[in-house]
Structure 1
Amino acid sequence: MQTFFGLIAFIALCQNGIEARGAVCEGRTAHLPCERGFIKLISASYGRSDRTTCSSGRPSNQLSNTQCHQYRSRRIMSDRCDGMSSCTVPVTNSVFSDPCRGTYKYLDVSFTCLPASRSVTCENSRNVISCARGSLSIHHANYGRRDRLTCPHRLATTSHCYHSQTSNLRSRCNGRNSCQLHASNAIFSDPCRGVYKYLEVTYSCNNHITSSGEITAAEQDT
């Protein structure tokens, strides 16, 4: 395991299968990159559990509460980062909410990089994910929008609009050789009306041989 503390940007280039861990101080930005593969969050905690991490220049009254935790931190980081090749998250109360006013906090986060494939299907399009050998194993799936560059469109007006579809896609696709995908509000419900969305799925094959490359829907339904 690689460990990094007190970084302005979390710049551990995580190799496949190796856990990277770091603490990023409140007001800074956490950057989780995978040189190869896609992010799988292991743990995340926003708050304070000791008096030494992110303590430089801070008065003692901002460090004394060591029982300060935001219990939704892992879910927030997982929603923003799982299945991405890199992820940037501001370490602020506006993102995580404030678990202890007056305490100077930090984000303690760990993740690994999965040697997986990623499928992106633009809204109202169809796609197929498959394994040349073995069967599908879904790691992560979202329907909505987590950036403005994927599936570009004049209605790509936000980067924080999505529903997790991991359980849904696991029940549909796990254990199969191939799985048809249809990025549709009728199937996944609409997390943000008026925004052009996409279905993103990170997956591998259960014999550890992944299908090649990133798959993007080629045509749009009419």
Structure 2
Amino acid sequence: MLVQKLSWVTLLLFLYQHGAEAKEKVVCEGESMCLKCDSGFIKVIKANYGRTDCKTCASGKPANQLSNKQCRAEASLSIMSARCDGRKSCTVPAVNSVFSDPCVGTYKYLDVSYECIPAKISVTCENGHSVIKCCKGVIHVHHANYGRRDLVTCPHALATTPDCYSPQTSSLRSKCDGKKSCRLCASNSVFTDPCVGVYKYLEVTYCCK
């Protein structure tokens, strides 16, 4: 019996570690970065839109566009996290209009490392209420966003943009982490309105620890 229990523990540890194995993707400026998790949800670990070497995305480019190896868009991680964390898949254009231009005249690329983490997801449409809970263990929030990151979730005539980001991870962790259950309210009065005139929803990915 002990051997059987140990075997199950070993299997669960393997599955967790396998699910959380870091993946890295690179796309050149002007292309789109596509992240995907067949199992679990995206958690961006590192991201940079810029250039840190002379070889990546260098084909056909003149030397003066490749020489700056200290080019970093400081908001790269927060932008990628806001757009992708807690989703099964996401697509982000590697362009200045998304990340701003950290080094004018340099040909850039987007370099991202991410994990696929095991988690549960809760979606609450605007002006709605819901409860997240753990039958075993306590809540740990991985990511939360109040806004709209696709046009399919919580369908509505005012679901007019998939680019409404208002990360609420810190506030939801303060409210819910360490509890067996936590009541959520998807409301502008709670989170303020990140995109006036757009019908929003609160999405939360969490696990039970």
Normalising by the residue count of structure 2, what TM-score does the alignment of the two structures yield?
Answer: 0.90
Unaligned runs of 5+ in 2: 1-17
Alignment of 1:1-150 (within 5 A): 16-150=19-153
Is 2:199 the partner of 1:160?
no
1:54 partner SS = coil
Q: Name stretches of at least 5 consecutive residues in structure 1 with no aligned partner.
A: 1-14, 207-222
Amino acid at match of 2:179: R
- The DSSP-based 3-state class of the residue aligned with 2:50 is strand
Q: Distance between the aligned counterparts of 1:101 and 1:189, measured in 2?
A: 35
In the TM superposition, residue 17 of structure 1 has moved relative to its aligned partner by 0.8
Secondary structure class of the residue paired with 2:53 = coil
Is 1:181 equivalent to 2:180 in the alignment? no
CA distance in 2 between counterparts of 1:29 and 1:161 reads 19
SS at match of 2:166: strand
* 1:162 alignment partner, SS class: coil
Provide the rounded CA distance (Å) in 2 between the counterparts of 1:74 and 1:88: 15
In structure 1, what residue type is equivalent to 2:133? Answer: S
Q: Distance in 1 between matches of 2:119 and 2:61?
A: 42
The Cα shift of 1:162 comes to 2.6
Q: Distance in 2 between matches of 1:54 and 1:83?
A: 29
Aligned-pair distance for 1:158?
1.1
8 Å contact kept, 2:133–2:181 = yes
- Contact 2:46 / 2:112 at 8 angstroms: preserved in 1? yes
- Mapped to 2, the partners of 1:26 and 1:109 lie a distance apart of 13
More helix by share: 2
Equivalent residue, structure 1, for 2:7: none
Provide Cα deviations, 1:186-211, integer angstroms capped at 9, x if missing partner.
Answer: 111111221111000000001xxxxx
Moved over 4 A (4+): none
1:132 offset after TM fit, Å? 1.2
Equivalences, count: 192
* SS of alignment partner, residue 161 of structure 1: coil
Q: Which amino acid aligns with 1:21?
A: E
Q: What is the identity, as a one-letter code, of the residue corresponding to 1:50?
A: D
Q: CA deviation at 1:135?
A: 0.4
Mapped to 2, the partners of 1:192 and 1:72 lie a distance apart of 20
- RMSD of equivalent CA atoms: 0.9
Question: What TM-score do the two structures reach when normalised by structure 1?
Answer: 0.84
